[in-house]
Amino acid sequence: MKLLTLEAFGDRMIELFPKLMREISQYESNYLTEGVITVPQVWVLDFLKDEKSAQMNEIATYMKLKFSSATGLIDRMVKHQLVKRVRSETDRRVVFISITSKGKKILQEIYKQKRKGIMRLFGRLGTEDRMQYMELIEKLVKDLSSVPQESCYANRHY
């Protein structure tokens, strides 16, 4: 394989990633693939799945959104009964967001189906190739978590 410039690498990734994701999602039928909920809503559910609850500012920070955009995102999720708002008993201005049983069930189903798609796709590769891929992804995630994130996401609205 010939060496690629970083720009050519970026172009190739833009071309390949949608194909890879389509292949992984090909056999899925859930709230996400049917367009009932969005990818950012899945990210919020994933964030909340291990937490008892989180404050709105924590969700906005995690999602790299303005507070008002995060509020709109949570409003839509409350409407779909994926999360619920609970006011603090000690300070009524503080609002906690927690995942509902419906939100947990939907997230589990999405991940169950994604796991099957990933297994189907990566089952075509040998163990060594899968390990190399995993090592690269883990390295990227580790590097990303140690670098301060740019504020380019601050103006996104989901």
Instruction: Return the CATH number at 49.
Output: 1.10.10.10
Q: Are 122 and 133 in contact (CB under 8 A)?
A: yes
- Phi, psi angles (nearest 5°) of residue 151: -90, 20
Q: Beta-carbon neighbour count of residue 132 at 10 Å?
A: 12
Is 42 inside any structural domain?
yes
Is 96 inside any structural domain?
yes
Give residue-wise pLDDT tens across range 53-85: 999 999 999 999 999 999 999 999 999 999 999
Which helix or strand (DSSP H or E) is residue 55 part of? strand 54-55
Name residue 88's beta-bridge partners: none
Q: What are the structure tokens assigned to 136, written together? A: 């690269």
Is 10 inside any structural domain?
no
Is 79 inside any structural domain?
yes
Is 55 inside any structural domain?
yes
- Phi, psi angles (nearest 5°) of residue 70: -65, -40
Window from 6-10, 58-62, 148-152 with minimum mean pLDDT:
148-152
Q: Are 74 and 83 in contact (CB under 8 A)?
A: yes
Predicted pLDDT of residue 106:
95
Structural domains counted in the chain: 1
Question: Does the model's pTM come out above 0.85?
Answer: no
Is 14 inside any structural domain?
no
CA 136 to chain centre: 19
Is 28 inside any structural domain?
yes
Is 120 inside any structural domain?
yes
Name the residue range of residue 93's domain.
22-146
